[in-house]
């Protein structure tokens, strides 16, 4: 993957948002920057609520030829015409989900800071492996995905890698040579102008 000059952006929705206003906000970001893929990542377990959000955001993404994946809700992918799923349990359910959704669906796996989990997910047939957080955060178990993990992965493994979680201008600049994608979400949605906030992170890639 080394020939890719600049990592691509994998945009992640906030865990909570207003369906009345967020699709417009999202559209402005998608129109301002080149986005490779969108991930619907909602904290809600209410399937009806998640489905309504997925319908609205799929329309925004697909109108711009951008794929949309959903976090965890495998059963909604085909039902709602989404492009794939982002699994958060490492390699554990990859084979089963790949079989269920077929070869054309996007199947990605978040593997924390575990090289071992990442390799298992790669062998099980994921389209990408995601490591993080790359910065300090109150979420998770306190483990941080170090730059050395991305450097090793990009040199040794063919499966594309995503860096996500507590990204900063500094970490984006540091990881740009050794990651294929940046998973960016919370870093921008709290800003008055998310498109400008994303622009600052993209500029840091050099």
User: Domain locations in the chain?
Assistant: 8-203
Q: Who's near 13: CB < 8 A, 6+ residues apart?
A: 22, 26, 38, 39, 40, 41, 42, 53, 57, 185, 189
| SS3 (DSSP) at 190 | coil
pLDDT digit string, tens, across residues 54-110: 999 999 999 999 999 999 999 999 999 999 999 999 999 999 999 999 999 999 999
pLDDT band (50, 70, 90) for residue 42: very high
pTM as predicted: 0.96
| SS3 (DSSP) at 46 | coil
Q: Which CATH code is given to the segment(s) 8-203?
A: 3.20.20.70
Q: Who's near 98: CB < 8 A, 6+ residues apart?
A: 105, 107, 124, 125, 126
């Amino acid at each position: 993957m080394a020939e890719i000059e600049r990592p691509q952006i994998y945009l992640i929705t906030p865990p909570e948002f207003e369906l009345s206003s967020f699709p417009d906000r999202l559209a402005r970001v998608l129109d301002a920057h080149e986005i490779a893929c969108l991930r619907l990542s909602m904290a809600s377990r209410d399937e009806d609520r998640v489905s309504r959000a997925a319908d609205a955001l799929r329309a925004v993404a697909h109108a711009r030829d951008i794929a949309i994946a959903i976090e965890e809700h495998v059963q909604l992918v085909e039902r709602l015409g989404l492009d794939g799923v982002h699994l958060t349990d490492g390699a554990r359910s990859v084979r089963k989900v790949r079989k269920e959704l077929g070869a054309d669906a996007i199947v990605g796996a978040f593997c924390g800071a575990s090289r071992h989990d990442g390799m298992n997910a790669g062998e099980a047939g994921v389209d990408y492996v995601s490591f993080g957080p790359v910065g300090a955060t109150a979420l998770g178990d306190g483990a941080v995905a170090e730059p050395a993990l991305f450097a090793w992965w990009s040199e040794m493994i063919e499966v594309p890698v995503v860096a996500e979680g507590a990204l900063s201008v500094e970490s984006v600049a540091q990881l740009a040579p050794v990651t294929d994608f940046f998973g960016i979400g919370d870093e921008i949605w709290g800003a008055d102008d998310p498109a400008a906030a994303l622009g600052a992170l993209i500029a840091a890639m050099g």
